[in-house]
């Protein structure tokens, strides 16, 4: 197993996740299998109870793990499927060590940070790194470990020590460190001192950076690169610049143009890793597709405006997977995305928080958008504004997509304004409402919060007689689909017959036909609500069909997109399948 550690210095949020993901993609182009692990040095067990406004979105995996949003970057770039164990937190590690101590596993020893905690970190990483993550079923050749935060943070110290020990445990040519630093531009001069200090801090902590990735506003000048190389005692090709580009999908191309992959391959001696011919061909194919999609964005003229009406729009990372799924759809529709971020509260007239100027600005954006999207969320704030946006889309034949809460509110709005159920509401907002359209799921434990929702990948079955459905047509002959979920509330099964008699069709249900998964209006360009979160399975090279259909409807090209994508297999993004009989058919070079 070969490991790549991606750490950060100077400031947080410099793009370690994108650089780690880009590194993995480039390695996959050589025919290697790549896995990823994210280390988050906070005490939370997982990201499930973190505020989206503080920490960004909670990303959900197939196994129901609620994890850091960077795991979404890994899955989107590397076309892999990760598990909850690939997100390591301080809380998880301490819990693991304390449970072992309580069982007596340490045989009476005084349990300490070193060696017990640091050994547990290394053992965890070595175990998880070997779990297959794609359709090939192969143990990964390389595992990329991203260390959250910045080196020097007190909470990161145990992980830094563990990584220092792991580089010795892994051995020469099996461990490489990429340190991401910030190179500020002051006036017209690129300052290298912060990077010099950051590298000094890393080395004093026991690590030896092999590559220095410098985040900067403009391309690094050759003199700046030489200065960093000289002052940090590395070769010229061990310094790469990652300047601002038009789209993050250009970052792998930017790195490759600087010889980044060649340097990685030389230090890790990638040529010694046996490679399967099918994976080599697959790697070449995905790189060609990636380059075509990423570079085509600069030549596209047509723009599609999408109004995202949400609760957490003050931090765009709160809806990171949603915005990325829209970007994937835009690339495949050959259009530019103009995403308007609208606080749902600003659509509510007369509320104390909404200034008149913000109210009219929000409504102008909604009324002029090509499509309206209401994503997931929790709590009552802004829900009236979300329902108003859904009603506007329904009444004016504007393409609409409601995800989780957005689906539930679309159903409540329909019940109120079409079915005449004036007191219709959700039990999430009013537990005593007389006409509960949305109810608490019976199997969910109300006494706990963490990891108690309906989580992970679940089955949705298209219902008989719904062949007209626009979203169903995108899936061709498939009668069921699998998507990731994260919710506590659901549409009340007792209200379904009334709603369907009024024209609101539940075209997708779970395998028991009791849980509503997809709702759709028949005589509308695209009015779809889904209980699941399709954004979690959207990939750059395999966009979510739910988001693709919505965006294509907004762009006016739904029929053409349906014809192209209806026969594409949902799991094509996970790579090639390799039969056990082919396991010995390895190629010695890429």
Residues with active-site annotation: 404, 533, 535
Among 433, 412, 416, which residue's Cα sits nearest to residue 490?
412
Strands 142-147 and 371-374: unpaired
Using an 8 Å Cβ cutoff, are 372 and 410 in contact?
no
Specify the 3-state DSSP secondary structure of 514: coil
DSSP 51-67: -HHHH-PPEE-TT--EE
d(CA 138, CA 578): 8
C-alpha 402/C-alpha 395 separation (Å) is 15
The answer to whether residues 74 and 22 touch, using CB atoms and an 8 Å cutoff, is no
Q: Answer yes or no: are the C-beta atoms of 93 and 117 closer than 8 Å.
A: yes
Q: How far is CA 317 from CA 376, 408, 548, in A?
A: 13, 23, 21
CA proximity to 383, closest of 447, 428, 330, 422: 428
The β-bridge partners of 3 are 143, 175
All residues at 6 or more sequence positions from 395 whose CB lies less than 8 Å from its CB, including other chains: none
- Residue 558's Cβ-count burial label (10 Å; 0-12, 13-18, 19+) is buried
Q: 3-state class of 505 per DSSP? A: strand
Which token pair is 148? 């959250």
* 3-class state of residue 298 by DSSP: coil
Angle in degrees, CA 65, 569, 320, rounded to 5: 40
CA-derived radius of gyration, the chain: 25
CA 184, chain centre distance (Å): 28
Whether 330 contacts 337, CB under 8 Å: yes
How far is 488 from 442, CA to CA, in rounded Å? 9
Residues 6+ apart with CB under 8 A from 528: 400, 401, 402, 470, 471, 518, 519, 520, 546, 549, 550
User: What kind and span of H or E run contains 367?
Assistant: helix 356-368
């Amino acid at each position: 197993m070969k490991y790549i550690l991606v750490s950060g210095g100077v400031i947080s949020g410099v793009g370690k996740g994108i650089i780690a993901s880009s590194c993995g993609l480039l390695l996959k182009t050589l025919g290697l299998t790549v896995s990823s692990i994210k280390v988050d040095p906070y005490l939370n067990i997982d990201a499930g109870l973190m505020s989206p406004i503080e920490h960004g979105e909670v990303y959900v995996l197939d196994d129901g793990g609620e994890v850091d949003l960077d795991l979404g970057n890994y899955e989107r770039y590397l076309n892999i499927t990760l598990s909850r164990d690939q997100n390591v937190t301080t809380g998880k590690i301490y819990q693991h060590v304390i449970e072992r101590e309580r069982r007596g596993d340490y045989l009476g020893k005084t349990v300490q940070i070193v060696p017990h905690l640091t050994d547990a970190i290394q053992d965890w990483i070595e175990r998880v790194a070997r779990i297959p993550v794609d359709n090939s079923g192969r143990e990964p050749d390389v595992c990329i470990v991203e260390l959250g935060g910045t080196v020097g943070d007190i909470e990161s110290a145990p992980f830094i020590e563990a990584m220092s020990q792991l580089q010795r445990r892994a051995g020469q040519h099996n461990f490489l460190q990429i340190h991401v630093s910030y190179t500020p531009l002051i006036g017209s001069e690129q300052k290298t001192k912060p990077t010099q200090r950051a590298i000094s801090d890393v080395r004093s902590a026991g690590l030896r950076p092999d590559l220095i990735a410098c985040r900067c506003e403009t391309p690094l000048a050759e003199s700046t690169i030489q200065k960093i190389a000289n002052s940090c005692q590395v070769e010229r090709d061990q310094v790469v610049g990652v300047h601002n580009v038009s789209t993050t999908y250009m970052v792998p191309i930017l790195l490759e143009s600087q010889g980044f992959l060649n340097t990685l391959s030389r230090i890790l001696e990638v040529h010694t890793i046996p490679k399967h011919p099918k994976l080599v061909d697959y790697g070449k194919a995905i790189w060609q597709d990636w380059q075509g999609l990423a570079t085509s964005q600069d030549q596209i003229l047509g723009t599609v405006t999408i109004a995202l009406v949400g609760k957490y729009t003050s931090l765009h990372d709160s809806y990171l997977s949603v915005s990325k799924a829209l970007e994937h759809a835009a690339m495949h529709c050959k259009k530019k995305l103009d995403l308007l971020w609208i606080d749902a509260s600003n659509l509510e007239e007369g509320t104390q928080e909404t200034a008149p100027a913000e109210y009219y600005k929000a409504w102008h954006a909604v009324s002029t958008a090509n499509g309206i999207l209401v994503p997931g969320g929790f709590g009552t704030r802004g829900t009236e504004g979300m329902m108003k946006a859904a009603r506007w889309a329904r009444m004016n034949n504007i393409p609409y997509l409601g995800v989780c809460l957005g689906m539930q509110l679309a159903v409540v709005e329909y019940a109120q304004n079409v079915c005449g159920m004036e007191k219709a509401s959700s039990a999430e907002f009013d537990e005593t409402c007389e006409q509960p359209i949305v109810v608490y799921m019976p199997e969910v434990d109300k006494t706990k919060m963490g990891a108690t929702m309906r989580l992970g990948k679940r089955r949705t079955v298209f219902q008989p007689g719904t062949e007209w459905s626009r979203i169903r047509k995108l899936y061709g002959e498939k009668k069921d689909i699998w998507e990731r979920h994260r919710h506590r509330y659901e549409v009340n099964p007792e209200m379904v017959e009334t709603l369907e008699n009024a024209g609101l069709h539940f075209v997708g249900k779970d395998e028991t036909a009791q849980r509503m998964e997809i709702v759709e209006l028949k005589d509308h360009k695209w009015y779809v609500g889904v209980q699941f979160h399709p954004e979690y399975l959207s990939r750059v090279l395999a966009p979510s069909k739910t988001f693709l259909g919505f965006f294509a409807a907004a762009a006016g090209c739904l029929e053409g997109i349906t014809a192209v994508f209806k026969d594409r297999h949902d799991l094509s993004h996970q790579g090639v399948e390799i039969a056990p009989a082919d396991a010995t058919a390895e190629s010695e070079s890429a």
